[in-house]
Amino acid sequence: MRTKLLLWLVLFTAALTSATLLVVHHSAQAQVQRQIEQDARNALLTIQAVQHQREMLLTRKADLLATLAFIRNGDAKTIQDASEDPWQSGDCDLFALADRKGKIIALHTTSLRLSLANAQELFRRSLREDSGTGWWFASGQIFQVVLQPYYDDEPGKSRLLGTVVVGREIDSSGASDLGRISSSHLVFRYRNNLVMSTFSPSEEQELVPQLEERPAREEIQIGKERFFASSLALTSGTEPALNLTVLKSYDEVTASLKRLNRLLLGLGLVAVLAGGVLVFVISDRSTRPMAYLAEGVRALEQGDYTYPLKSNAGGDEVAQVTRAFEDMRNTLRRNEVQRQQLEVQRQQLEGQLRQAQKMDAMGRLAGGVAHDFNNLLTVIKGNSSLLIERLQSDDQLLGRTQQIENAANRAASLTRQLLAFCRMQVLQPKILDLNMLVSEM
């Protein structure tokens, strides 16, 4: 019983601890999910705030460049001079000047990978979207740009003279800076294709198939690390959008959850051990009389009715059960004596019954034999009667044939007696002439 109590306590404590861990784990998982989503939103807000600051800086430089272009009457050399001026070119990687018709007449980039045709197409797209700020992507380059038109300021006139474009390239180092600021990984995608990220090339190989399979998925697995993905469209309109995806790692957030799980597991183990010791002490004191009673039961199973029982003098349940067991054992002893006596009587009755069954079997056998023998006598009597009818009175064989018929009649009488005995019929006594009976014998 002590073992059962200990096992049940361990199972109950383990089940309760497991249920508590599951509830806490589920609640913590939900909290982690909410926290990771909030962190991703905060990271996007941080990146937007940084981009807004850079946009304001580009806007100021675009205003200065537009003023310079207006002063020079839209001279293409304005772009060249601005790119060489450290006050103008600081934090800027793209300068462009377009005339009133929207044709770019001057272009300067630090990397020289953006062609004039690509810049013209991106510029027309920005004009169609009627947005003074935006993002350009071409030749694997990403630029944050600001468009600033300048007008003729003559009295009574407001005529467009041209537009200047100032931009800053977002390269791998810039993306890494944004990732450090937002404490997350960044992925730039164009048409759901990866353009740039803060991951290593090997990690990008695992990332690309997942982006192609489901671009808007919220959970991404890279190696053994899980990330929550939140995307932001950098460009709008009907054209393929340039998207920024922020990936927040679950591992950093779930580290506290793992520590909490270990703490709960340790507390559960301590509770199991402490409860086991307590139950062992209590059960040892309360179940020892039950052990004595169990020994008495085992002795009774082996037929020992004299095994001494140890019971407490108190009135607890165990003492009451022990006294009741003692009374029951005495009753069983008396019943056993009576049973033995009844067994002897039963054996005697069984012997008588077997004898009666033997007699019944002998009677049935005698009846069967008498019946079959009577059939044979019928044949003998019939043939002897036919012989007597055919023989003459002086024939020597007539006397012998009559003797056969008489013997058959006596045998038939004997078979009738056997059948009467077997069927337990009531016999009718008759007066016999012994002299005649002896003479016939």
How far apart are alpha carbons 194 and 204 in whole angstroms? 8
Residues 86 and 195 in one domain: yes
Residues 216 and 100 in one domain: yes
Confidence (pLDDT) at 164: 92
DSSP for 13-56, written as a single string: HHHHHHHHHHHHHHHHHHHHHHHHHHHHHHHHHHHHHHHHHHHH
Between the alpha carbon of residue 92 and those of residues 76, 95, 96, 140, 188, the distances in Å are 18, 8, 11, 18, 20
| Residue 229 near residue 211, CB atoms below 8 Å | no
DSSP for 315-356, written as a single string: -SHHHHHHHHHHHHHHHHHHHHHHHHHHHHHHHHHHHHHHHH
Q: Identify the helix (H) or strand (E) that includes residue 261.
A: helix 250-301
| Residue 100 near residue 116, CB atoms below 8 Å | no
pLDDT-derived band of residue 147, with 50, 70 and 90 as boundaries? very high
Residues 153 and 70 in one domain: yes
Q: In CATH, what number is assigned to the domain containing residue 76?
A: 3.30.450.20
Q: Which of 72, 242, 285, 70 is nearest to 160 (CA)?
A: 70
| 77-84 vs 2-71: helix crossing angle, rounded to 10 | 130
Residues 351 and 226 in one domain: no
In a domain? residue 389: yes
Tokens encoding 329: 């054992």
0.85 exceeded by pTM: no
Residues 358 and 234 in one domain: no
Residues 254 and 325 in one domain: no
pLDDT-derived band of residue 238, with 50, 70 and 90 as boundaries? very low
Q: 69-78, 297-306, 336-345, 346-355: lowest mean pLDDT where?
A: 297-306
In a domain? residue 95: yes
Residue 229 has pLDDT above 80, yes or no: yes
Name the DSSP letter for residue 388. H
Confidence (pLDDT) at 286: 65
**Helix, strand or coil for residue 107?**
strand
Tokens encoding 383: 């043939």
Average pLDDT over every residue of 242-248: 84
The burial of 228, by beta-carbon neighbours within 10 Å (0-12 exposed, 13-18 middle, 19 or more buried), is given as buried
How far apart are alpha carbons 74 and 64 in whole angstroms? 13
How far apart are alpha carbons 230 and 248 in whole angstroms? 9
What does pLDDT average to over the chain?
A: 79
Q: Which of 324, 321, 329 is nearest to 291 (CA)?
A: 321
Tokens encoding 17: 């601890």
Residue 137 has pLDDT above 70, yes or no: yes
In a domain? residue 181: yes
Domain boundary among 229, 258, 287: 258
Q: Report CA torsion sign: 105, 106, 109, 111.
A: positive
Average pLDDT over every residue of 365-374: 78
Tokens encoding 243: 């998207």
Domain boundary among 258, 293, 328: 258
Average pLDDT over every residue of 77-85: 80
Q: Which domain holds residue 131?
A: 23-258
How far apart are alpha carbons 416 and 408 in whole angstroms? 12
In a domain? residue 226: yes
Q: Which of 146, 125, 124, 122 is nearest to 134 (CA)?
A: 146
Residue 162 has pLDDT above 80, yes or no: yes
In a domain? residue 174: yes
Domain count along the chain: 2
Domain boundary among 216, 239, 258: 258
Residues 324 and 192 in one domain: no
Residues 81 and 222 in one domain: yes
Task: State how beta strands 185-190 and 242-249 pair.
Answer: antiparallel
Q: What is the 3-state secondary structure (H, E, C) of 409-423?
A: HHHHHHHHHHHHHHC
Strand boundaries in 217-358, DSSP class E: 219-222, 225-233, 242-249
Residues 223 and 141 in one domain: yes
Side-chain-side CA neighbours of 113 within 13 Å: the count stands at 12
In a domain? residue 184: yes
Q: In CATH, what number is assigned to the domain containing residue 414?
A: 1.10.287.130
Average pLDDT over every residue of 46-67: 88
Q: What is the pLDDT of residues 7-35, one digit of tens each?
A: 776 677 677 767 776 787 678 778 877 88
Sheet containing 193-197: order of strands: 193-197, 185-190, 242-249, 225-233, 219-222
**Helix, strand or coil for residue 113?**
coil
Q: Say which residues have a Cβ less than 8 Å from residue 88's Cβ, sequence separation at least 6.
A: 61, 64, 65, 82
Residues 60 and 202 in one domain: yes
Q: What is the pLDDT of residues 284-315, one digit of tens each?
A: 666 666 666 677 777 777 777 677 766 655 55
In a domain? residue 267: no
How far apart are alpha carbons 283 and 256 in whole angstroms? 40
Q: Report CA torsion sign: 264, 268, 274, 275.
A: positive
Q: Say which residues have a Cβ less than 8 Å from residue 41's Cβ, sequence separation at least 6.
A: 230
In a domain? residue 400: yes
Residue 155 has pLDDT above 70, yes or no: no
Residues 236 and 341 in one domain: no
Residues 152 and 55 in one domain: yes
